[in-house]
């Protein structure tokens, strides 16, 4: 069977592979500690689950409008005004099967073959692949680890070319947890405006910022009168512990949203109707559940940071958002364990998994040499046990 070239051109979701590997080991009865999860460990709050149950009983089990139920798009506009200070009409909103589909749609609707798109490294694994699936080319630009992984604007300058049509940004970031300053976002928006790029802003971790306030890129765009074209993509997944419900959305200029809707309409028709009803309850209902989950995440972040930084040779900066820490394991590179040379973080993560059954995600997969991603969306007891095992594994690495 000769498959389409695009299949060979893209990489499989490698974080999903780690999750699958962990699940396989658990199903074999192995006592695994999993720091690879990219989702809250809490159940979806009860009032949201109840809304979904009612939706089924009341017959909201049919196709909806392609862009999403009008009530949900209105709720999204209410939320954007309330929390982000930006105004949109329901016709400027597209509800998707998770924000991942919004991001995919945006790349399909905006980029042509031969065009290039700036992606900042370390990047969420799907960004370069979305670009490649649109037959466009990702241009990887460095960030500065000591500076919350903000863009290295001199590297960006050195990579400018006339084929660049857009840029994807993601603050708070997966995998680093880094939150860009407003000044960095403003600078990036100005570069985008100057070169006429579309900015795709992935803001799925907007509610998980521990110090200071989240400010949406589009809000800064308006406040500073920059006039860049911004497509904002957001999700209910992380904010309301709703990863399995698959509800995300995009807002932006009507022409782009309509183009994205056209693509989505032919791919999946609409997002799932029950999830959409649940989404209305999430966005318009009591928000204290979000603050409660955030308090737990903050508490866990501080615990994992303290434990990691206590291990000789590991440096872990304090990330201000999401639920990931991204320590630097460079001191363990090019050393030997179990007679095997640890030449990159794939090797180090593999060794940690084999020796103490702790699942982590190698930073090399995100374009970040020497770093390993740990998700702390798991309870304190597991964090303590997992980092204890990690320490034992690292102790056995030869000098
Ligand atoms: N963007 C980033 C940076 C993510 O980490 C994820 C999920 O892990 C998504 C988007 C996708 O979220 P959703 O569940 O809404 O598709």
Domain span at residue 229 reads 46-284
Q: Is the distance from the beta carbon of residue 124 to the nearest atom of ligand 1 less than 6 Å?
A: yes
**Which tokens go with 13?**
């979701």
Residue 14 · residue 7 · CB < 8 Å: no
> Are 357 and 319 in a shared domain?
yes
Q: Where among 284, 310, 337 does a domain terminate?
A: 284
Q: Is the distance from the beta carbon of residue 204 to the nearest atom of ligand 1 less than 6 Å?
A: yes
pLDDT score of 14 more than 80:
no
Weakest mean pLDDT among 7-21, 37-51, 136-150 = 7-21
Q: Where on the phi/psi map is residue 148: left (φ > 0), alpha (ψ -120 to 50), or beta?
A: left
Q: Where among 245, 267, 284 does a domain terminate?
A: 284
> Are 323 and 249 in a shared domain?
no
Q: Please report which confidence band the pLDDT of residue 310 belongs to, taking 50, 70 and 90 as the band edges.
A: very high
* CA dihedral for 251, 253, 258, 263, sign (positive or negative): negative
Cα dist. 236→52, 99, 182, 240, 243 in Å?
14, 8, 23, 6, 7
- Please return the burial class of 202, using the count of CB atoms within 10 Å of its CB with bins 0-12, 13-18 and 19+: buried
For 190-215, what is the mean pLDDT?
97
| Pocket perturbation via mutation, ligand 1, pick of 100, 107, 367 by most ligand atoms within 8 A of CB | 100
> Are 200 and 319 in a shared domain?
no
pLDDT score of 268 more than 90:
yes
* Ligand 1 centroid – CA 99 distance (Å): 6
Ordered DSSP codes for 280-296: HHHHHS--HHHHHHHHH
Q: Please report which confidence band the pLDDT of residue 18 belongs to, taking 50, 70 and 90 as the band edges.
A: confident
* Ligand 1 centroid – CA 205 distance (Å): 8
> Are 51 and 26 in a shared domain?
no
pLDDT at 1: 85
pLDDT at 285: 97
Q: Is the distance from the beta carbon of residue 122 to the nearest atom of ligand 1 less than 6 Å?
A: no
d(CA 399, CA 396) in angstroms, rounded, equals: 9
Q: Please report which confidence band the pLDDT of residue 272 belongs to, taking 50, 70 and 90 as the band edges.
A: very high
> Are 153 and 60 in a shared domain?
yes
pLDDT, tens only, 77-86: 999 999 999 9
> Are 155 and 114 in a shared domain?
yes
> Are 182 and 241 in a shared domain?
yes
* Ligand 1 centroid – CA 38 distance (Å): 8
What integer best gives the mean pLDDT of the chain? Answer: 95
**Which tokens go with 115?**
């065009």
For 92-102, what is the mean pLDDT?
98
Q: Is the distance from the beta carbon of residue 237 to the nearest atom of ligand 1 less than 6 Å?
A: yes
Q: Where among 284, 313, 329 does a domain terminate?
A: 284
368: domain CATH number is 3.90.1150.10
> Are 244 and 379 in a shared domain?
no
Which ligand 1 atom is at minimum distance from the Cα of 322? 5
For 54-68, what is the mean pLDDT?
97
pLDDT at 12: 78
> Are 277 and 300 in a shared domain?
no
Q: What is the pTM of this model?
A: 0.95
pLDDT at 6: 87
* Residue 87 CB neighbour total at 10 angstroms: 11
pLDDT at 193: 98
d(CA 347, CA 334) in angstroms, rounded, equals: 10
Q: Is the distance from the beta carbon of residue 68 to the nearest atom of ligand 1 less than 6 Å?
A: no
What is the domain count for the chain?
2
> Are 24 and 122 in a shared domain?
no
* Ligand 1 centroid – CA 394 distance (Å): 31
At 135, is the secondary structure helix, strand, or coil?
Answer: coil
125: domain CATH number is 3.40.640.10
pLDDT score of 318 more than 90:
yes
pLDDT, tens only, 165-175: 999 999 999 99
> Are 110 and 225 in a shared domain?
yes
pLDDT, tens only, 353-363: 989 999 999 99
> Are 313 and 248 in a shared domain?
no
* Ligand 1 centroid – CA 323 distance (Å): 12
């Amino acid at each position: 069977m000769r498959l389409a070239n695009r299949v060979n051109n893209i990489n499989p979701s490698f974080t999903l592979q780690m999750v699958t590997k962990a699940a396989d080991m658990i199903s074999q009865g192995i006592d695994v500690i999993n720091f690879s999860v990219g989702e809250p460990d809490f159940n979806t709050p009860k009032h949201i689950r109840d809304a979904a149950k009612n939706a089924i009983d009341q017959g909201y089990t049919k196709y909806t409008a392609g862009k999403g139920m009008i009530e949900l798009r209105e709720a999204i506009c209410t939320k954007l005004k309330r929390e982000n200070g930006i105004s949109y009409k329901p016709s400027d909103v597209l509800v998707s099967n998770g924000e991942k589909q919004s991001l995919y749609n945006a790349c399909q609707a905006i980029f042509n073959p031969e065009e290039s798109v700036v992606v900042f490294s370390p990047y969420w694994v799907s960004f370069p692949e979305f670009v490649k699936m649109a037959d466009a080319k990702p241009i990887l630009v460095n960030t500065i680890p000591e500076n919350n992984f903000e863009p290295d604007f001199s590297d960006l300058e050195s990579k400018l070319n006339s084929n660049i049509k857009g840029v994807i940004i993601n603050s708070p970031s997966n995998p680093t947890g880094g939150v860009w300053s407003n000044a960095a976002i403003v600078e990036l928006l100005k570069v985008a405006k100057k070169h006429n790029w579309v900015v795709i802003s992935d803001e799925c971790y907007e509610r998980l910022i521990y110090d200071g306030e989240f400010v949406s890129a589009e809000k800064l765009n308006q406040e500073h009168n920059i006039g860049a074209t911004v497509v904002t993509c957001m999700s209910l997944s992380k904010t309301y512990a709703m990863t399995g419900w698959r509800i995300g959305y995009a807002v932006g200029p009507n022409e782009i949203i309509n183009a994205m809707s056209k693509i989505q309409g032919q791919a999946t028709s609409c997002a799932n109707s029950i999830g959409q009803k649940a989404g209305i309850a999430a966005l318009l209902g009591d928000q204290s559940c979000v603050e409660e989950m955030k308090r737990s995440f903050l508490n866990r972040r501080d615990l994992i940071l303290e434990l990691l930084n206590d291990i000789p040779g590991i440096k872990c900066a304090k990330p201000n958002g999401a639920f990931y820490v991204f320590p630097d394991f460079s001191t363990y590179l090019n050393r030997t364990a179990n007679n095997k040379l640890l030449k990159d973080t794939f090797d180090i993560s593999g060794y940690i998994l084999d020796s103490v059954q702790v699942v982590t995600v190698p930073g090399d997969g995100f374009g970040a040499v020497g770093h390993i991603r740990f998700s702390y969306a798991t309870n304190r007891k597991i964090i303590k046990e997992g980092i204890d095992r990690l320490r034992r594994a690292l102790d056995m690495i030869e000098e």
